[in-house]
Amino acid sequence: MTLESVARKDFRDALRSRWLMGLTVFFALLIGGSTVLFYGVLLKGAGANSESLFGLTTAPGGLFSFSYAGMLGFVLALIALVTAHGSLIDERESGSLKLLLSLPNSRRDVVFGKLIGRTLVVVASMLVGFVIALFAMLFTGAQVAFVSFAGQVALSGLLATAFVSIGIWLSASSNTPRQALFGTIGLYFIFAVLWSTVATGIPRLFNWAAGKVPGIDPMAAEQIVLTRLFIKYLNPLRAYETLIAQLYGSAAAARLFKAGLQESLVLQPILKESIPVYLSGPFILVVLLAWIAIPPILGYRSFQKSDL
């Protein structure tokens, strides 16, 4: 099974480079440390539960659009991209890929073996952080909503995997390490910063075009908001956040998490009645899973075609 041996070799390489150790320390401090701080110092004693920090209903002040899950999503995505974006192109550049492909490893084994290896690196170090967090809550006597917490850990694992997948895609389809690096920075910027502009822009663009072309009706205000929400949750970072919100509340509330006032006013009655399929929890989970499945396939296809 060469897929397995490629993955194992890649994981061992990360172990040797101390990257795994560095990430483990990082997540232990970030997730574990923040939990210790929160439950040990800020919110001591009775009434404390896992939702206080990890849930989304008690975001500090309620005014800021900050959530612990959202912050963790940004960090996980960045770490995953950093871990994965060089995986293939760096080996191609140095020439060790030739050694790897001189052996009976197919290019498919190499792409997906790397995907598994790098995913394990990110997910394993992340898990250490969550385990420390769990123990911190148990020791400080906070009540743990185990199902929600486990769901959150699982979703975090999926998000990390999605961004490792995206990093592998970039690595596999780039011709130089620089290209992979800039592609990574660019994509991260799009997901983390630009996406809401895109989500707002597309319906606007549609209506502008509809105004020019006779026969096409512009979207109604309600449709515009729904479209915007649909596009918003195609972003794996946003999908992750709203799915976590759903672990701690209703689907309708989760979809409107961080929504603007005007948006909420329009959508609340609609979502209360029934949630459209494309905004349902299962659909958004499928979106997140698609971000895991599709990028490595695209990366493999381009890697498969290229001269090394």
Partner 1 sequence: MAAIELDGVTKRFGDDSGVLDSLRSSTEADVVTAVRDLSFTVEEGEVFGFLGPNGAGKSTTINMLLDFVRPTSGTVRVLGHDAQEDSVAVRRRTGVLPEGYDVYDRLTGREHVEFAIESKESDDDPDELLSRVGLSQEDADRRAGGYSKGMSQRLALAMALAGSPDLLILDEPSSGLDPAGAREMREIVRSEADRGATVFFSSHVLGQVEAVCDRVGILREGELIAEDSLDSLRDKLESESVLRLEVDGDADLEAVRAVSGVSSVDHDGDKLVVACEPDAKTNVIEAVESSGATVADFETDSASLEDIFLAYTEDDREEVPA
Sites of contact with partner 1 (CB under 8 A): 2, 5, 9, 12-13, 16-17, 94-96, 98-99, 101-106, 175, 307-308
d(CA 6, CA 184): 23
Q: E strand or H helix at 180, and its extent?
A: helix 177-189
29 or 99, CB closer to partner 1? Answer: 99
| Min dist. Cβ of residue 115 to partner 1 (A) | 18
Q: Which contacts of 260-266 are long-range, i.e. CB under 8 A and separated by 24 or more positions?
A: 263/225, 263/228, 263/229, 266/221, 266/222, 266/225
Cβ proximity to partner 1: between 95 and 282 the closer is 95
Tokens of 148: 């929600």
Alpha carbon distance 96, 102 (integer Å): 10
Contact 236, 287 (CB under 8 A): yes
Q: How far is the CB of 100 from partner 1 (least distance, A)?
A: 9
Between residues 98 and 204, which has the closer beta carbon with respect to partner 1? 98
d(CA 301, CA 196): 30
Place of tokens 């009540």: 143
CA distances from 50 to 33, 56, 101, 133, 155 (A): 15, 11, 48, 10, 16
Least distance between partner 1 and beta carbon 179 (Å): 8
- Minimum CB–partner distance for residue 112 and partner 1 (Å): 14
Query: In the complex, what is the shortest distance from the CB of residue 103 to partner 1, in angstroms, rounded to a whole number?
Result: 4
CA dist., res. 5 & res. 125, Å (int) = 21
CB of 172 to partner 1, least distance (A): 13
Closest CB to partner 1 among 22 and 282? Answer: 22
Select 44 or 98, whichever has its Cβ closest to partner 1.
Answer: 98
